[in-house]
Amino acid sequence: MSYLALSRATFRCDILKVNIKTSLSAGDEWTIADSPIHTRATLNSGKITIYTGSHWLIESKVGAQLPNLSLSSEYITQLHDGSNYVGFPAIMSNINALNCSTNFTRALILSSDISTSMTLSIKCKSVTGTIGNNSTGATYEPVETIKIMELPA
């Protein structure tokens, strides 16, 4: 008897490392350190480019090394396409920590939202208060990542 193995997942996924920042100002961008190998996304100058023909679910987790140092500090990061913010922001906050902080940016981008391609970066939308630097250089530091899921259109 023979069996045919079929792929169960109908999507492709890459989880890429993002370079750690040691300081933060509004408008700063994180750079992506790895290259996609499972999806059709490409990397250019630390930014990802996605293409029409698929839907894309993108999540990033950055800023683990940048603690809020006062009770009135927060920073917001979000995916940016060069002219507009895309998806839902990540809010690292001591202001509303109990009811609104989330450290993941998320965006579901439909194939119909992309003309041919779309280049995305992870950008700091705003900074309020004092943001510290907790970069110790230790090997146990959190890894900052971006997850790129390519879904069938």
Query: Of residues 104 and 66, which shows the higher confidence score?
Result: 104
Count of C-beta atoms within a 10 Å radius of residue 2: 3
CATH of the domain at 136: 2.60.120
DSSP H/E element including 80 = strand 74-80
Percent of the chain residues past pLDDT 90, beyond the cut: 52
The total of structural domains in the chain comes to 1
Write down the pLDDT at residue 140: 46
Q: Which two tokens stand for residue 95?
A: 């202001």
Domain for residue 2, yes or no?
no
Domain assignment present for 124:
yes
Q: Residues 12-36: pLDDT tens digits?
A: 999 999 988 777 889 999 999 889 9
Burial class (CB in 10 A: 0-12, 13-18, 19+), 35: exposed
Q: Which domain holds residue 73?
A: 12-152
4 assigned to some structural domain:
no
What would the DSSP string read from start to end of 85-112?
EEEEEEEEESSSTTTT-B--EEEEE-GG
Sign of CA dihedral 108, 91, 148, 41: positive
